Each structure stands twice: as C-alpha cells, then as structure tokens.
Amino acid sequence: MTKQQSISHINWFHRIDLGEGVVTPGDDDSAAKLTKLNFPEDLSGKTFLDIGAWDGFFSFEAERRGASRVLATDSFVWDGNVPGKSKEGFLAARSLLKSNVEDLHIDPLNVSPQTVGMWDVVLLAGVLYHLKHPWLLIERAASVTRELLILETATDLNLMVRPAIAIYTRGELGGDPTNMCAPNLAALKGMLSDCGFRRVEVVYNSGLAKSMLSAGMRFLKYGSTPFASIQQGRCAIHAFR
C-alpha cells in the first residue's frame, strides 16, 4: 500500500508533509502557523510538550527541529468528541514518519508535574478558547513549563484596555458551539504574569483591520452580528520563566 493509499480514509485537520510528495489534506494551513507562532527554529536538546496535539503537526515539527523528547497530548478530539475526527491521523502520521513522538490521552486541565512531568518548551495552541476555565488552563500549562510557554488563542474585546474575557454561550465565536470564551490581550498578559512568567511577549496579533474583515465574512457565513465579532482575532504569545 502506498503512503497516499494508507492515509486517504482519514479525516485530517493538519497538513503534514509525509515525504515522497504526500501531504495530509487537512483544512488547517499548519505550516503557515509556524510563522505566526514564531516557532523556535532550533529545539536541539529541548524537551517539548504539545497540549492539544490533534494530528500532531507541531509535535512532529518539534522533533524535526531537534527536540530530544516530544510528548503529544490530547483528549477531546482523540476520544471521538468531534464527529468524523479521531486519533487515527496522529497514529498514521507517526508511523509513516517513523517518529519517536510519545503520546498521552489527558484532559488539558489535568496536566501537572505529577501527570506529565516538566518540559522545556510547552505549546498550547488553539485550545484555550474551547475551555470554560482559561486562567486555570494557563496555570496548568505554566506548572509544567521550565523555560518557554507558547500560547496561541482566539482573542476578543481588544478595544478594552482593562483585562476582560468574552464568554460565548451560543456559538458567537465562528458559529462553533465548542468555543467557550476568549480573553483580550491584557487579560492574557495578566494571567501569564500571575502564573510566574517574568517576560511575556506578544509575537502575533491579527489586529483590528483583520478582525473587521473577518467580522464581515462571519456575518455572511454564519449571520454573526459584526458588532459582536468585530473585536475577535487571534494572537500568539511567548511567555518566559
């Protein structure tokens, strides 16, 4: 069986280059996110924890960039809570890449030094806005971070100067009922500092112009009122110990 044949039945999220011209056909433009995340070029000798790994694109990329040990964790998607999606992509990609990335089924809120140990670099991308407890989640991720936490998330209420968190109860973020809340940048910085990070750097912020464009598109696609979605965006933050 060719690589192409062995992945064709899988419903992919990430686009992972498996070599020999085969790239998994996910909706997510995964490679483009590396720039937004300011993903470290060189992870030689570093240990890397991926919280919410899904198909594992960032875990495999960390391994490719020299990480000495990589742990991919997930629960929600791997446990079949998203119709048609599963852990199958991660397992297939790991096997075809002949990767040594380890895996662990664990809810992000159960991450702690006791359950997963300590990691030099921790990635928490695309997960925070799915949970009802963003501050607790940051606290959990911080508790296992030795050097650097890379946090990527949806943001909202960025016209407010004070720290604030938007709460979604009716799919107000992208029409997706699994999106529960999004903090503004001030809240994210405040929560990260509270969790003991000395330096907090925003490395990506989609900004107001992009938010206005997205608000128009969301209005056309989901009927979301632009007034509510105008401040919604994405950001990536590096938090250093």
Ligand X SMILES: C[S@@+](CC[C@H](N)C(=O)[O-])C[C@H]1O[C@@H](n2cnc3c(N)ncnc32)[C@H](O)[C@@H]1O
Binding site for ligand X (CB under 6 A): 28, 52, 54, 74-77, 107-108, 125-127, 130-131, 178
Place of tokens 């993903």: 39
**26 or 197: CB nearest ligand X:** 26
The rounded distance, in Å, linking the Cα atoms of 197 and 218 is 35
Structure tokens at 18: 């498996």
Are 126 and 58 in contact, with CB atoms under 8 Å apart? Answer: no
- Minimal distance in Å, beta carbon 85 to ligand X? 8
Q: Least distance (Å) from ligand X to the CB of residue 92?
A: 16
Identity of the residue, 3 or 36, whose beta carbon is nearer to ligand X in the bound complex: 36
Which position's Cβ is nearest ligand X? 126
Residue 86: how many other CB atoms lie within 10 Å: 17
Residue whose CB is less far from ligand X, 76 or 222: 76
Q: How far is the CB of 120 from ligand X (least distance, A)?
A: 18
Q: Which is nearer to ligand X, 92 or 127 (CB)?
A: 127
Q: Which is nearer to ligand X, 2 or 84 (CB)?
A: 84
Of the two residues 28 and 160, which places its CB atom closer to ligand X in the complex? 28
Q: How far is the CB of 168 from ligand X (least distance, A)?
A: 13
- Shortest Å distance, C-beta 18 to ligand X: 17
Rounded to a whole number of angstroms, the minimum distance from the CB of residue 161 to ligand X is 28
